[in-house]
Copies of this chain bind each other. A is one copy, B any other.
Protein backbone atom coordinates (compact mmCIF):
# COMPACT_ATOMS: atom_id res chain seq x y z
CA UNK A 1 0.00 0.00 0.00
CA UNK A 2 1.42 3.41 -0.91
CA UNK A 3 2.47 5.21 2.25
CA UNK A 4 2.18 8.95 2.52
CA UNK A 5 5.87 9.13 1.82
CA UNK A 6 8.13 11.70 3.23
CA UNK A 7 9.42 12.85 -0.11
CA UNK A 8 12.36 14.78 1.12
CA UNK A 9 14.78 12.66 -0.81
CA UNK A 10 15.10 11.56 -4.38
CA UNK A 11 14.82 7.88 -3.63
CA UNK A 12 11.25 8.25 -2.32
CA UNK A 13 10.33 10.08 -5.51
CA UNK A 14 11.92 7.28 -7.48
CA UNK A 15 9.79 4.75 -5.67
CA UNK A 16 6.67 6.71 -6.43
CA UNK A 17 7.73 7.00 -10.06
CA UNK A 18 8.17 3.28 -10.23
CA UNK A 19 4.80 2.70 -8.65
CA UNK A 20 3.24 5.20 -11.05
CA UNK A 21 4.66 3.34 -14.04
CA UNK A 22 3.49 -0.02 -12.77
CA UNK A 23 -0.12 1.02 -11.99
CA UNK A 24 -0.54 3.02 -15.17
CA UNK A 25 0.85 0.20 -17.30
CA UNK A 26 -1.65 -2.26 -15.86
CA UNK A 27 -4.61 -0.19 -17.17
CA UNK A 28 -3.23 -0.38 -20.67
CA UNK A 29 -2.55 -4.07 -20.25
CA UNK A 30 -6.18 -4.67 -19.27
CA UNK A 31 -7.26 -3.40 -22.70
CA UNK A 32 -4.91 -5.78 -24.52
CA UNK A 33 -7.36 -8.61 -25.18
CA UNK A 34 -9.89 -6.16 -26.59
CA UNK A 35 -10.40 -4.59 -30.00
CA UNK A 36 -10.84 -0.85 -30.50
CA UNK A 37 -14.54 -1.55 -31.03
CA UNK A 38 -14.78 -3.38 -27.70
CA UNK A 39 -13.09 -0.44 -26.01
CA UNK A 40 -15.50 2.14 -27.42
CA UNK A 41 -18.93 0.68 -26.60
CA UNK A 42 -21.01 1.44 -23.50
CA UNK A 43 -23.54 -1.16 -22.41
CA UNK A 44 -25.54 1.00 -19.96
CA UNK A 45 -25.30 4.44 -18.34
CA UNK A 46 -23.76 2.94 -15.17
CA UNK A 47 -20.89 1.44 -17.15
CA UNK A 48 -18.28 3.27 -19.19
CA UNK A 49 -16.27 2.30 -22.26
CA UNK A 50 -12.75 1.02 -21.67
CA UNK A 51 -11.41 3.88 -23.77
CA UNK A 52 -13.23 6.34 -21.59
CA UNK A 53 -11.72 4.79 -18.46
CA UNK A 54 -8.27 5.05 -19.97
CA UNK A 55 -8.83 8.69 -20.85
CA UNK A 56 -10.64 9.69 -17.65
CA UNK A 57 -7.92 8.34 -15.36
CA UNK A 58 -5.41 10.31 -17.43
CA UNK A 59 -7.61 13.40 -17.26
CA UNK A 60 -7.48 13.01 -13.49
CA UNK A 61 -3.70 13.41 -13.47
CA UNK A 62 -3.78 16.19 -16.03
CA UNK A 63 -6.50 18.19 -14.29
CA UNK A 64 -5.67 17.73 -10.64
CA UNK A 65 -1.87 17.59 -10.90
CA UNK A 66 -0.34 18.92 -14.12
CA UNK A 67 -2.61 21.95 -14.20
CA UNK A 68 -1.52 22.77 -10.67
CA UNK A 69 2.17 21.88 -10.75
CA UNK A 70 3.29 22.68 -14.29
CA UNK A 71 4.28 26.31 -14.62
CA UNK A 72 3.73 26.25 -18.38
CA UNK A 73 0.69 23.99 -18.33
CA UNK A 74 -1.11 23.56 -21.60
CA UNK A 75 -4.00 21.13 -22.01
CA UNK A 76 -3.55 18.13 -24.30
CA UNK A 77 -6.83 19.09 -25.94
CA UNK A 78 -9.23 21.69 -24.55
CA UNK A 79 -12.32 19.56 -25.22
CA UNK A 80 -10.91 16.66 -23.21
CA UNK A 81 -11.58 18.70 -20.08
CA UNK A 82 -15.30 18.25 -20.82
CA UNK A 83 -15.27 14.83 -22.47
CA UNK A 84 -13.48 13.02 -19.67
CA UNK A 85 -14.85 14.81 -16.62
CA UNK A 86 -16.87 12.17 -14.83
CA UNK A 87 -18.88 14.09 -12.25
CA UNK A 88 -16.87 17.03 -10.93
CA UNK A 89 -19.14 20.08 -11.06
CA UNK A 90 -16.25 22.04 -9.62
CA UNK A 91 -14.29 21.47 -12.85
CA UNK A 92 -17.09 22.59 -15.15
CA UNK A 93 -19.16 21.09 -17.94
CA UNK A 94 -19.45 17.35 -18.49
CA UNK A 95 -20.22 15.29 -21.56
CA UNK A 96 -23.49 13.38 -20.92
CA UNK A 97 -22.73 10.16 -19.07
CA UNK A 98 -25.14 8.00 -21.06
CA UNK A 99 -23.49 9.00 -24.35
CA UNK A 100 -19.93 7.98 -23.59
CA UNK A 101 -20.25 5.12 -26.05
CA UNK A 102 -20.74 7.63 -28.87
CA UNK A 103 -17.24 9.05 -28.49
CA UNK A 104 -15.72 7.23 -31.43
CA UNK A 105 -13.37 10.20 -31.56
CA UNK A 106 -10.83 10.65 -30.07
CA UNK A 107 -9.70 7.28 -31.37
CA UNK A 108 -8.29 4.60 -29.11
CA UNK A 109 -4.92 5.39 -30.70
CA UNK A 110 -5.15 9.04 -29.70
CA UNK A 111 -6.11 8.11 -26.15
CA UNK A 112 -3.06 5.92 -25.94
CA UNK A 113 -0.99 8.89 -27.05
CA UNK A 114 -2.74 11.08 -24.48
CA UNK A 115 -1.74 8.61 -21.78
CA UNK A 116 1.87 8.56 -22.95
CA UNK A 117 2.19 12.32 -22.98
CA UNK A 118 0.63 12.81 -19.55
CA UNK A 119 2.73 9.96 -18.15
CA UNK A 120 5.90 11.59 -19.40
CA UNK A 121 4.91 14.91 -17.87
CA UNK A 122 4.17 13.32 -14.50
CA UNK A 123 7.50 11.47 -14.58
CA UNK A 124 9.20 14.73 -15.40
CA UNK A 125 7.54 16.40 -12.45
CA UNK A 126 8.95 13.74 -10.18
CA UNK A 127 12.46 14.08 -11.52
CA UNK A 128 13.60 16.40 -8.77
CA UNK A 129 11.80 14.93 -5.79
CA UNK A 130 8.21 15.17 -4.73
CA UNK A 131 6.84 17.49 -2.09
CA UNK A 132 4.03 16.02 -0.03
CA UNK A 133 1.38 18.13 -1.79
CA UNK A 134 2.40 16.45 -5.05
CA UNK A 135 3.00 12.93 -3.80
CA UNK A 136 -0.34 12.87 -1.98
CA UNK A 137 -2.17 13.79 -5.17
CA UNK A 138 -0.26 11.23 -7.22
CA UNK A 139 -1.09 8.57 -4.68
CA UNK A 140 -4.75 9.53 -4.84
CA UNK A 141 -4.58 9.42 -8.62
CA UNK A 142 -3.14 5.92 -8.54
CA UNK A 143 -5.73 4.68 -6.08
CA UNK A 144 -8.36 6.22 -8.34
CA UNK A 145 -6.84 4.43 -11.31
CA UNK A 146 -7.00 1.12 -9.47
CA UNK A 147 -10.69 1.65 -8.77
CA UNK A 148 -11.21 2.13 -12.48
CA UNK A 149 -9.22 -1.00 -13.25
CA UNK A 150 -11.84 -3.01 -11.43
CA UNK A 151 -14.62 -1.14 -13.24
CA UNK A 152 -12.94 -1.77 -16.60
CA UNK A 153 -13.33 -5.50 -16.02
CA UNK A 154 -16.88 -5.39 -14.66
CA UNK A 155 -17.99 -2.95 -17.37
CA UNK A 156 -16.54 -4.99 -20.20
CA UNK A 157 -18.01 -8.16 -18.66
CA UNK A 158 -21.43 -6.53 -18.82
CA UNK A 159 -20.89 -5.47 -22.42
CA UNK A 160 -19.74 -8.89 -23.56
CA UNK A 161 -22.59 -10.58 -21.68
CA UNK A 162 -25.13 -8.85 -23.95
CA UNK A 163 -23.54 -10.29 -27.05
CA UNK A 164 -25.14 -13.56 -28.20
CA UNK A 165 -21.70 -14.73 -29.29
CA UNK A 166 -20.74 -14.99 -25.57
CA UNK A 167 -17.24 -13.66 -26.12
CA UNK A 168 -14.58 -14.47 -23.54
CA UNK A 169 -12.29 -11.74 -22.23
CA UNK A 170 -9.82 -14.40 -21.16
CA UNK A 171 -9.64 -17.61 -23.18
CA UNK A 172 -8.35 -20.10 -20.60
CA UNK A 173 -10.94 -21.38 -18.12
CA UNK A 174 -11.13 -20.01 -14.57
CA UNK A 175 -9.02 -21.85 -11.99
CA UNK A 176 -10.57 -23.47 -8.95
CA UNK A 177 -8.03 -24.55 -6.34
CA UNK A 178 -10.27 -25.11 -3.34
CA UNK A 179 -13.51 -26.84 -2.45
CA UNK A 180 -16.40 -25.24 -0.65
CA UNK A 181 -16.36 -26.25 3.02
CA UNK A 182 -19.18 -26.14 5.53
CA UNK A 183 -20.40 -22.69 6.49
CA UNK A 184 -19.48 -22.00 10.13
CA UNK A 185 -20.78 -19.26 12.44
CA UNK A 186 -18.12 -17.22 14.21
CA UNK A 187 -19.33 -15.38 17.33
CA UNK A 188 -18.15 -11.96 18.44
CA UNK A 189 -18.70 -10.24 21.76
CA UNK A 190 -20.48 -6.93 22.19
CA UNK A 191 -18.45 -3.84 22.94
CA UNK A 192 -17.12 -0.52 21.78
CA UNK A 193 -14.93 -0.91 18.71
CA UNK A 194 -12.89 1.46 16.64
CA UNK A 195 -14.15 1.86 13.09
CA UNK A 196 -12.41 3.62 10.22
CA UNK A 197 -8.86 3.99 9.12
CA UNK A 198 -6.37 4.65 11.88
CA UNK A 199 -2.89 4.58 10.43
CA UNK A 200 -0.87 7.19 8.57
CA UNK A 201 -0.88 5.39 5.25
CA UNK A 202 -3.30 6.11 2.44
CA UNK A 203 -7.02 5.82 2.75
CA UNK A 204 -9.99 7.55 1.16
CA UNK A 205 -11.73 10.39 2.97
CA UNK A 206 -14.83 8.29 3.54
CA UNK A 207 -12.86 5.97 5.86
CA UNK A 208 -12.22 8.88 8.21
CA UNK A 209 -12.25 9.85 10.97
CA UNK A 210 -11.69 6.76 13.01
CA UNK A 211 -14.38 6.73 15.66
CA UNK A 212 -16.12 4.46 18.15
CA UNK A 213 -19.17 2.29 17.57
CA UNK A 214 -20.95 0.00 19.98
CA UNK A 215 -21.57 -3.40 18.50
CA UNK A 216 -24.01 -5.80 20.14
CA UNK A 217 -22.96 -9.44 20.12
CA UNK A 218 -23.39 -11.22 16.81
CA UNK A 219 -22.19 -14.12 14.69
CA UNK A 220 -20.76 -13.93 11.18
CA UNK A 221 -20.36 -16.58 8.50
CA UNK A 222 -16.95 -18.10 7.85
CA UNK A 223 -17.36 -17.90 4.08
CA UNK A 224 -19.60 -16.43 1.39
CA UNK A 225 -22.84 -18.07 0.26
CA UNK A 226 -22.02 -20.40 -2.63
CA UNK A 227 -23.87 -21.00 -5.89
CA UNK A 228 -25.26 -24.28 -4.64
CA UNK A 229 -26.86 -22.66 -1.64
CA UNK A 230 -28.20 -19.82 -3.73
CA UNK A 231 -29.62 -22.25 -6.29
CA UNK A 232 -31.59 -23.90 -3.50
CA UNK A 233 -33.13 -20.49 -2.80
CA UNK A 234 -33.99 -20.06 -6.48
CA UNK A 235 -35.47 -23.54 -6.69
CA UNK A 236 -37.48 -23.01 -3.51
CA UNK A 237 -39.29 -20.13 -5.24
CA UNK A 238 -37.26 -17.39 -3.62
CA UNK A 239 -37.91 -15.06 -6.54
CA UNK A 240 -41.66 -15.61 -6.30
CA UNK A 241 -42.39 -15.03 -2.63
CA UNK A 242 -42.94 -11.36 -1.69
CA UNK A 243 -42.61 -12.18 2.01
CA UNK A 244 -38.85 -12.57 1.49
CA UNK A 245 -38.26 -9.22 -0.13
CA UNK A 246 -38.05 -5.60 0.81
CA UNK A 247 -41.05 -3.86 -0.69
CA UNK A 248 -39.04 -1.75 -3.13
CA UNK A 249 -37.02 -4.81 -4.11
CA UNK A 250 -40.16 -6.79 -4.84
CA UNK A 251 -41.50 -4.01 -7.07
CA UNK A 252 -38.18 -3.94 -8.91
CA UNK A 253 -38.09 -7.71 -9.33
CA UNK A 254 -41.64 -7.76 -10.74
CA UNK A 255 -40.99 -4.86 -13.08
CA UNK A 256 -37.77 -6.43 -14.40
CA UNK A 257 -39.18 -9.97 -14.32
CA UNK A 258 -36.11 -11.31 -12.53
CA UNK A 259 -35.81 -14.97 -11.68
CA UNK A 260 -32.10 -15.51 -11.00
CA UNK A 261 -28.74 -13.73 -10.71
CA UNK A 262 -27.60 -11.44 -13.52
CA UNK A 263 -25.26 -13.78 -15.35
CA UNK A 264 -27.03 -17.09 -14.86
CA UNK A 265 -28.48 -18.65 -18.01
CA UNK A 266 -30.65 -21.60 -18.77
CA UNK A 267 -32.29 -22.89 -21.93
CA UNK A 268 -35.77 -21.41 -22.02
CA UNK A 269 -37.76 -24.51 -22.73
CA UNK A 270 -35.87 -26.75 -20.43
CA UNK A 271 -36.79 -26.09 -16.81
CA UNK A 272 -34.78 -29.03 -15.54
CA UNK A 273 -31.57 -28.39 -17.43
CA UNK A 274 -28.46 -27.22 -15.68
CA UNK A 275 -27.44 -23.61 -15.40
CA UNK A 276 -24.59 -21.80 -17.09
CA UNK A 277 -22.89 -18.66 -15.90
CA UNK A 278 -21.40 -15.95 -18.08
CA UNK A 279 -17.89 -15.10 -16.88
CA UNK A 280 -14.91 -13.15 -18.08
CA UNK A 281 -13.76 -16.57 -19.30
CA UNK A 282 -16.91 -16.94 -21.44
CA UNK A 283 -19.92 -19.09 -20.72
CA UNK A 284 -19.17 -21.75 -18.08
CA UNK A 285 -21.24 -24.41 -16.38
CA UNK A 286 -22.44 -23.01 -13.06
CA UNK A 287 -20.08 -24.26 -10.38
CA UNK A 288 -22.00 -24.75 -7.16
CA UNK A 289 -18.89 -24.50 -5.00
CA UNK A 290 -17.90 -20.99 -6.01
CA UNK A 291 -19.49 -18.03 -4.21
CA UNK A 292 -22.60 -16.57 -5.79
CA UNK A 293 -21.65 -13.28 -7.41
CA UNK A 294 -23.24 -10.34 -9.24
CA UNK A 295 -25.99 -10.20 -6.66
CA UNK A 296 -27.91 -7.02 -5.87
CA UNK A 297 -28.46 -5.76 -2.34
CA UNK A 298 -32.11 -6.74 -2.69
CA UNK A 299 -31.20 -10.31 -3.63
CA UNK A 300 -28.62 -10.56 -0.87
CA UNK A 301 -31.15 -9.31 1.67
CA UNK A 302 -33.88 -11.68 0.45
CA UNK A 303 -31.55 -14.65 0.49
CA UNK A 304 -30.46 -13.83 4.03
CA UNK A 305 -34.07 -13.62 5.21
CA UNK A 306 -34.86 -16.95 3.57
CA UNK A 307 -31.80 -18.47 5.27
CA UNK A 308 -32.93 -17.21 8.68
CA UNK A 309 -30.06 -14.76 8.88
CA UNK A 310 -29.33 -11.18 7.88
CA UNK A 311 -26.57 -9.07 6.33
CA UNK A 312 -23.90 -7.70 8.67
CA UNK A 313 -23.64 -3.98 9.39
CA UNK A 314 -20.42 -2.45 8.21
CA UNK A 315 -19.25 -2.05 11.81
CA UNK A 316 -19.81 -5.73 12.43
CA UNK A 317 -18.01 -6.64 9.23
CA UNK A 318 -15.00 -4.45 9.98
CA UNK A 319 -14.79 -5.65 13.56
CA UNK A 320 -14.92 -9.29 12.49
CA UNK A 321 -12.55 -8.88 9.57
CA UNK A 322 -10.01 -6.93 11.61
CA UNK A 323 -10.07 -9.65 14.24
CA UNK A 324 -9.62 -12.37 11.64
CA UNK A 325 -6.83 -10.58 9.80
CA UNK A 326 -4.93 -10.10 13.05
CA UNK A 327 -4.76 -13.91 13.22
CA UNK A 328 -3.83 -14.60 9.60
CA UNK A 329 -3.51 -12.62 6.43
CA UNK A 330 -6.60 -14.37 5.15
CA UNK A 331 -6.10 -13.77 1.47
CA UNK A 332 -3.69 -15.20 -0.94
CA UNK A 333 -5.10 -14.19 -4.25
CA UNK A 334 -3.10 -14.72 -7.37
CA UNK A 335 -4.57 -12.93 -10.35
CA UNK A 336 -4.50 -16.04 -12.43
CA UNK A 337 -8.21 -16.08 -13.07
CA UNK A 338 -11.02 -13.53 -13.09
CA UNK A 339 -13.65 -15.48 -11.26
CA UNK A 340 -13.95 -16.16 -7.52
CA UNK A 341 -12.64 -19.41 -6.05
CA UNK A 342 -14.36 -21.54 -3.38
CA UNK A 343 -13.20 -21.62 0.24
CA UNK A 344 -12.74 -24.43 2.72
CA UNK A 345 -11.23 -22.48 5.61
CA UNK A 346 -12.69 -22.70 9.09
CA UNK A 347 -11.96 -19.09 10.04
CA UNK A 348 -13.33 -15.99 8.38
CA UNK A 349 -12.19 -16.43 4.79
CA UNK A 350 -12.86 -14.81 1.43
CA UNK A 351 -12.42 -11.40 2.96
CA UNK A 352 -10.67 -9.83 0.00
CA UNK A 353 -10.25 -12.46 -2.72
CA UNK A 354 -13.71 -13.52 -3.85
CA UNK A 355 -16.61 -11.02 -3.92
CA UNK A 356 -17.46 -7.71 -2.34
CA UNK A 357 -19.87 -8.31 0.50
CA UNK A 358 -23.10 -6.37 0.88
CA UNK A 359 -23.68 -4.91 4.32
CA UNK A 360 -27.02 -3.69 5.66
CA UNK A 361 -25.50 -0.24 6.16
CA UNK A 362 -26.52 2.71 4.07
CA UNK A 363 -23.51 4.69 2.86
CA UNK A 364 -23.16 7.67 5.20
CA UNK A 365 -20.53 9.99 6.62
CA UNK A 366 -18.67 8.95 9.73
CA UNK A 367 -19.11 11.29 12.71
CA UNK A 368 -16.73 14.18 12.19
CA UNK A 369 -16.31 13.51 8.47
CA UNK A 370 -15.07 16.50 6.48
CA UNK A 371 -14.95 16.42 2.68
CA UNK A 372 -11.68 17.65 1.12
CA UNK A 373 -11.54 21.18 -0.25
CA UNK A 374 -12.07 21.95 -3.91
CA UNK A 375 -13.37 19.73 -6.67
CA UNK A 376 -11.83 16.64 -5.07
CA UNK A 377 -14.36 17.13 -2.28
CA UNK A 378 -16.85 15.63 -4.74
CA UNK A 379 -14.94 12.35 -4.82
CA UNK A 380 -17.01 10.56 -2.17
CA UNK A 381 -19.21 12.80 -0.05
CA UNK A 382 -21.89 13.66 -2.55
CA UNK A 383 -22.81 10.03 -3.09
CA UNK A 384 -23.77 9.37 0.52
CA UNK A 385 -27.46 8.70 -0.03
CA UNK A 386 -29.53 5.73 -1.18
CA UNK A 387 -26.50 3.50 -1.58
CA UNK A 388 -25.40 0.48 0.42
CA UNK A 389 -21.91 -0.27 1.60
CA UNK A 390 -19.99 -3.29 0.39
CA UNK A 391 -16.94 -4.41 2.31
CA UNK A 392 -13.91 -6.52 1.49
CA UNK A 393 -12.77 -6.73 -2.10
CA UNK A 394 -13.17 -9.05 -5.07
CA UNK A 395 -11.14 -11.48 -7.12
CA UNK A 396 -10.39 -8.67 -9.58
CA UNK A 397 -9.41 -5.96 -7.11
CA UNK A 398 -5.72 -5.09 -7.35
CA UNK A 399 -3.96 -6.79 -4.43
CA UNK A 400 -2.38 -3.57 -3.15
CA UNK A 401 -5.68 -1.78 -3.17
CA UNK A 402 -7.43 -3.57 -0.28
CA UNK A 403 -7.93 -2.44 3.31
CA UNK A 404 -10.12 -3.63 6.15
CA UNK A 405 -11.57 -0.11 6.43
CA UNK A 406 -12.30 0.20 2.69
CA UNK A 407 -15.87 1.23 1.84
CA UNK A 408 -17.31 0.39 -1.54
CA UNK A 409 -20.92 1.41 -2.29
CA UNK A 410 -23.64 0.87 -4.89
CA UNK A 411 -27.39 1.27 -5.22
CA UNK A 412 -29.63 -1.55 -4.04
CA UNK A 413 -30.29 -2.84 -7.56
CA UNK A 414 -26.70 -2.84 -8.87
CA UNK A 415 -25.65 -6.26 -10.06
CA UNK A 416 -22.74 -5.85 -12.43
CA UNK A 417 -20.05 -5.84 -9.74
CA UNK A 418 -18.51 -8.94 -8.19
CA UNK A 419 -20.88 -8.64 -5.23
CA UNK A 420 -21.80 -11.56 -2.99
CA UNK A 421 -23.26 -12.48 0.38
CA UNK A 422 -21.71 -12.99 3.79
CA UNK A 423 -24.40 -13.77 6.36
CA UNK A 424 -24.66 -12.56 9.94
CA UNK A 425 -26.94 -13.12 12.93
CA UNK A 426 -27.77 -11.05 16.00
CA UNK A 427 -27.05 -12.65 19.32
CA UNK A 428 -28.71 -9.65 21.02
CA UNK A 429 -32.44 -9.77 21.74
The answer, yes or no, to whether A382 is at the interface (CB within 8 Å) is: yes
- Most chain B CB within a 10 A radius of its CB, from A209, A313, A428: A428
A87 surroundings in chain B (CB, below 8 A): 247
Having A248-B385, A361-B364, one finds 12 other A-B pairs with CB under 8 Å, namely: A36-B37, A37-B39, A83-B164, A89-B250, A104-B163, A209-B429, A212-B216, A214-B214, A243-B377, A243-B378, A245-B382, A362-B362
In the complex, how many residues of chain A place their beta carbon closer than 8 angstroms to a beta carbon of chain B?
73
Q: How far is the CB of A302 from chain B (nearest CB, A)?
A: 11
A354 surroundings in chain B (CB, below 8 A): none
A30-51 toward B: CB 8 Å interface, digit per residue (1/0)? 0000011111110100000001
| A216 with B385, Cβ < 8 A, contacts A41-B101, A104-B41, A209-B428 known | no
Cross-chain contact B385 with A165 (CB below 8 angstroms) = no
The answer, yes or no, to whether A95 is at the interface (CB within 8 Å) is: yes
A234-266 toward B: CB 8 Å interface, digit per residue (1/0)? 000000001101111110000000000000000
The answer, yes or no, to whether A327 is at the interface (CB within 8 Å) is: no
Cross-chain contact B102 with A43 (CB below 8 angstroms) = yes
A78-115 toward B: CB 8 Å interface, digit per residue (1/0)? 01001100010110000100010111111110000000
A249 surroundings in chain B (CB, below 8 A): 385
The answer, yes or no, to whether A365 is at the interface (CB within 8 Å) is: yes
The answer, yes or no, to whether A213 is at the interface (CB within 8 Å) is: yes
- Bound together, the chains give a CA A301 to CA B365 distance in angstroms of 12
Q: How far is the CB of A248 from chain B (nearest CB, A)?
A: 6
A12-46 toward B: CB 8 Å interface, digit per residue (1/0)? 00000000000000000000000111111101000
Closest 7 CB pairs of A and B: A362-B362, A214-B214, A37-B104, A89-B242, A368-B428, A368-B426, A37-B40
User: What is the copy number of this chain in the assembly?
Assistant: 4
- Bound together, the chains give a CA A6 to CA B87 distance in angstroms of 60
A364 surroundings in chain B (CB, below 8 A): 360-362
Q: How far is the CB of A193 from chain B (nearest CB, A)?
A: 9
A53 surroundings in chain B (CB, below 8 A): none
Cross-chain contact A386 with B386 (CB below 8 angstroms) = yes
A83 surroundings in chain B (CB, below 8 A): 164
A220-246 toward B: CB 8 Å interface, digit per residue (1/0)? 000000000000000000000011011
| A216 with B159, Cβ < 8 A, contacts A382-B245, A384-B246, A386-B386 known | no
Residue of B nearest to A384 (CB): B246
Residue of B nearest to A35 (CB): B107
Give the B-binding residues of A (Cβ under 8 A). 35-41, 43, 51, 79, 82-83, 87, 89-90, 95, 99, 101-108, 159-160, 162-165, 167, 190, 192, 209, 211-214, 216, 218, 242-243, 245-250, 297-298, 301, 310, 313, 360-362, 364-365, 367-369, 377-378, 382-386, 412, 426, 428-429
Cross-chain contact A368 with B216 (CB below 8 angstroms) = yes
A37 surroundings in chain B (CB, below 8 A): 36-37, 39-40, 51, 104-105, 107-108
Cross-chain contact A214 with B243 (CB below 8 angstroms) = no
A36 surroundings in chain B (CB, below 8 A): 35-37
Cross-chain contact A365 with B104 (CB below 8 angstroms) = no
12 contacts between A and B (CB under 8 A): A37-B105, A40-B41, A40-B104, A41-B104, A83-B164, A99-B162, A190-B212, A192-B192, A246-B384, A246-B385, A368-B428, A369-B426
A160 surroundings in chain B (CB, below 8 A): 105
Residue of B nearest to A211 (CB): B216
| A104 with B35, Cβ < 8 A, contacts A40-B40, A40-B41, A364-B360 known | yes
Residue of B nearest to A156 (CB): B104
